[in-house]
Structure 1
């Protein structure tokens, strides 16, 4: 029981929460990008989940001659095959998916493998329970 509480405490400490979003893995190597995930929005019998992601940029990113400080994406993760794809995304001119949309795309991307030791792998383990 003691080990359970230690594990739970360490898990809670390693994830920062910002207005319902959980930061995974801290920031990028250069400190310019923070990645947040929101609770799983859907799960089906085929072991596929949907989860929202925000990437928050420290410096503006040039998108279509406009400036983006964040991108909010709806991701689909196959927990069984460990694959991921982006269903839709929107770039915003303010941090944490706020402000005016700069660019929208609702065309689902191709499935790809989740690389080990990156933010998406930590998210997969947490939300898929593996």
Structure 2
């Protein structure tokens, strides 16, 4: 488990340095949150897309009495089954995953169905069309 955590932390650092962040169109949600994806470090294997995302919030969010303005996540999207999961994420006190990491979780979520007519479905269509 420690090896995985160290690997993910180093990956977060290296992704920040080499990422090609592009705003996902239609991610605004009334200007409250903007979603960016890393067009440089996206990987695909067996109908599964692995992509880094950053969510920027217009106002501070709170988790365990710690405030954050952005979340950087590594997600997987299964193009065939139309499911997704978060593999790891970090919450940061500044936008675009900058500043101090105030919370992190490297426990992969279970696969979840993507509901139609939500941002996740738009993102699935976009990622899987690549």
The answer on whether the counterparts of 1:94 and 1:100 sit within 8 Å (CA) in structure 2 is: yes
Aligned residues: 110
Partner of 1:65: 65
What is the CA-CA distance between 1:64 and the residue it aligns to? 2.1
| Deviations 1:70-113, CA, capped at 9 Å, x for gaps | 00000011010110000000000000111110000000001111
Q: Distance in 1 between matches of 2:73 and 2:61?
A: 16
If the length of structure 1 is used for normalisation, what is the TM-score? 0.77
What TM-score comes out, normalization by structure 2 length? 0.77
The 5 A counterparts of 1:1-130 are 20-24=20-24, 25-29=26-30, 31-39=31-39, 41-44=42-45, 46-129=46-129
Q: 8 Å contact 1:37–1:123 — kept in the other structure?
A: no
User: What secondary structure, in the 3-state scheme, does the structure 2 residue paired with 1:26 have?
Assistant: coil
RMSD over equivalenced CA pairs, Å: 1.7
Contact 1:35–1:119 at 8 Å: present in 2 too?
A: no
Q: Secondary structure at the match of 2:27?
A: strand
